[in-house]
Structures are given as structure tokens and as C-alpha cells.
A and B are shown apart, each in its own frame.
Chain A
């Protein structure tokens, strides 16, 4: 499996606060790397650096292609309809007319969004909104997908549906970095990196890390 992301000793400081401290990680094809940690552990800063939305102070990051990104808050254009949002983002991702129509059909069919197509997205239930955000993040078939707490605030059914979509993408070879503060979601990932105070304190397969569960739980307090 080829490497899609290589993070090499990166650090980021905001004033006196060290948000990310000497982090090194890799992501391979088809891998789902879960970033776990309490609020303020540095997950979002790390993710934004991988997306090139923030520059690291030290270290280097290399990413294959342009990653698909879904941010923590719902960030589609609320006043636009489902149909308009899909077309708007697809155009900006550089899809041609035929590609846009095809992707729109796929998204509508997979999410069963047909009845909601002409409804402004702000009126969609939160589970559907996140699923739509996810579909738009992968609209241009990115080799790497970066999801910042995508299941935050969702009910268990919506969370399960979103994880199913993530697994489908990973099975097709997309490398996924997903941050979460839900411990139970750790088992959906193929690999976990636990963050605490900006550092990676544990890195391995979920079952390996489960053996040190008590120690892991202490990082969430």
C-alpha cells in the first residue's frame, strides 16, 4: 500500500500555546486513521495543517493530491438548496458538466435525497446535512479524505450511516484521517493516534491500544 500522507516532526504554536508538538504520522491507501483526544488536544490544528489551511512552524507535511475536507461545523452554504450546493462545490472542484450531473445522481441515489433536492440545506435534519457534507467532500474523488469530528452532535443512527460511508470510501482505496472525541468510534478505525496536549501519546491498531484502556482513558479527563 502506498503512502498518501507523511507528517514529519511538525509543531504549531499560537502565541505561547503549543497546539501541536513534534508530531509524526503516516497514512496509507485504504487506511482509516482515527485521531482521538479530548477537546483542545490539538486534533483540529493538526488536521488543518494537513489540509494546508495552517502552516506548521516546524516540520514538513506531504500529501498526495488535494485532500477532501469536511470541517467540524456544518459549512455548506445554508441558503442554497441541496441541488445548488452540490453543483456549486462540484464546479469549484473543477468537474465538468457531465461529471457534475453524474456525481449529483450518485449522491442523490446513495443518500436518498430526492425529496429534499430543492430545499435549502439549513432545513435538512442534522444527520442528512453531515451526510451531504461528506458526499461533497468526496465529490472530486480525492485520494485523501480529512474529516474533523464529522459525527459531532449526531444521533447514533446517523453516526453509523456516516461511518458506513467512510468505510465504503476506504475500501475503494481512499486514505482517511478522522478526528473524534468519542471513544466508542475508535473501533471503526483501522489505526488510532491518541493526542494529548499536542503530542501523539499512543499510535497503533484499536485492539492493541484497547489493552491499555485505563491509561488511554486518563488522556480524556
Chain B
């Protein structure tokens, strides 16, 4: 009996892998899409701006001002792209050119005008300009008592503020939702409405064997992506400070949790469009936008914040940062593991009820 059960599950796994590798759309979603996400966020897309275009204005034709402008242009993150003849033309400089800031040197001080349409960009350029101008004031004007360029801050866990630290947990989160929830959910739904599930249930298979055989290939593909992410972390110089076993354990638990949520939706809804839309609305959007990957959870208000703390994505991102970046152990992340385990058990139980409701035994 045990052998039969194993053989049944093995047969469904083989069939599922053949299906995945022969179906172009499945291959695209399971391999090309995650690769594209990793490449885009790893290389091309970044929340950090490297080159700010600025203009300078020196209405008094000061020599000191020219020295400041040379220092600004020498900064690798700033690029002086033009000159504004008079203060009255500063508005035109922002309107016409792709200018983020204008630095105007007056005899009695320095004025900085920053494009505030994007607060993130404005903050970034303010930091860059502030550092150069403070340095200029201190060294060039020989003002020994000039303030430091900022607070004496030391950044822990990511001393050089590497940009790659920020998106990595979010990328893993997105890939798992895509592979484990959305593709698995829609694949199960397709077989359910085509009748393949009914045909399979007429053999000796139980619902549990069928779901195990169906889900395991997607789980293995998720693990492949975990390894890829791990290698990419190494490539970008991100060191996993915590226990590797705990790190992989977290990824496996989160992947299983995503699969159970995908199966839950597929088990209770029949129309492919319903399943797809629900996967995006219920799983992808809240987990990506509210989990702390893009917007900090601490910036959210009241009820939303209380709910968001129970999202699997929030638990994953928080535990990932704790284990991988801070090197904390199981005890410090127990609450996140409990949330993920609880949701896994609950979603699996509800999806089994959903499948049994449609197909008994």
C-alpha cells in the first residue's frame, strides 16, 4: 500500500515535470520571469540614484563659487549639466532641462533649490549635495569650526549601505508568490475544470496524494530559485550572517505557505479568471506592497498595521532580514515562524476541505 502510494505520487510528479518543461507558458512563468525579476532588480532597477543632474548659478562671478562647482562636478553622483545666468532663470532651468537641483553661490551664503516632485529623489540629492557643500565650507573656506557633514552615524549589518541588501528579500518574496502560489494555483484550477482531476480521482489516488504529487515539482522549482537567490547574494557580496539551515528553513516554510495559499484559492474557486485575479489581489499585491519590502510597516496606520503584521510576506521579510543580515537565531524569529506555520496549517486544512467539497474521499 505504502509502495503504491509512493509510486502514485512519483507518477504525478513525473507527469507534472513533463508538463512544465513542455508547456512554453509554464516555462516562461517558472523560469524566465523569476530570472527577469532577479536581473531587473539586481542590476537595472534600484531605489538609489547614481547620477543627479544639477545646474549652478554664480551671479557674482565669484572664484570661490567656481571651486565649489568643480568639487560638485567631481563627485561621482553629481553631474553639472549647465549654468543658470541669473536667479530669475532658476525656474526655467527646472522646466526645460532634466535638472534635479540648482546650486546658487551668493556672497553671503549658498542656496540650494531641489526639485521636490519626487520626495525620494529630493532626499537623495539633498544628502549628496549636503555632503559636498559641507566639505567645501569646512576645507576650502578654512572654517575649522564648521559643522561635520552629518551625525557620526555607523551603519550596522550593512556598513557601506550596499543597495543590494534592500531588494533581495522582496525578490525572493515575489518569486515564491509567482512560482508557488500563482502558477501552482492556476495549474491546479486548469486540471480541475478540464476534468483531469476527476479522471485521476477515479484511479486509486486520494486527494492528498494528488495534491502532493502536483505541488512537489513547484516546491522543488522554488528551492531551485532559493539556491539561485543564495548564489546571487554571494555574487553581490551579501553575506548570510545567520545560520544557513535557519535561512533555508525559512525559505522552505515560506514557499510551502505560498503553495498552500495558491491551493486554497484553486480549491474554492472554479473559474480560471477568478483564481488568477484572486491570486494577484489577495496574495501578490498585499504581500509585495504592504510587507515592508517597499513601504516600511512602521509608516502604516492603526488597523492596517495590525493586519499587515500577519501577512506571510511581512513575516518572511522580517525574518529574512533578521537571519540573513543581522545573524539572529531561531528564538528571535520564533513569532515569524509561528505566523508562517499557522498560516500553512490553516490554508492546507481549508484547501483540503475545498477539494473534498468538490471531490469526496
Contacts and interface: CB of A to CB of B under 8 A. Distances in A.
Interface of A: 48, 51-55, 66-77, 79-80, 84, 88-89, 91-94, 120
Contacts of B200: 92
A88 to B, nearest CB: 5
B204 A93 contact: yes
A67 B198 CA distance: 12
A196 B300 CA distance: 58
Contacts of A69: 198-199, 202
Contact of B11 (A67, A70, A88): A88
The 4 A-B residue pairs whose C-beta atoms are closest, nearest first, are A75-B195, A92-B203, A71-B195, A69-B202
Given A53-B359, A88-B11, A120-B22, A76 B202 contact: no
A83 B4 CA distance: 21
A92 B11 contact: yes
Contacts of B361: 52
A23 to B, nearest CB: 18
A90 to B, nearest CB: 9
Contact of B204 (A74, A76, A77, A92): A92
Contact of B195 (A54, A55, A73, A94): A73
Interface in B1-23: 4, 7-8, 11-12, 14-15, 18-19, 22-23
B: interface residue count bin: 20 to 34
A119 to B, nearest CB: 12
A157 to B, nearest CB: 24
B195 A52 contact: no
Interface string B189-219: 0000011101111111100000000000000
A29 B238 CA distance: 70
Nearest to B200: A92
Nearest to A92: B203
Contact of B360 (A55, A71, A84, A120): A55
B16 to A, nearest CB: 9
Interface in B169-196: 194-196
B195 A92 contact: no
Nearest to A139: B203
B198 A71 contact: yes
Contacts of A88: 11, 14-15
B229 to A, nearest CB: 28
Nearest to B8: A92
Most chain A C-beta atoms within 10 Å of own C-beta, residue among B7, B14, B198 = B198
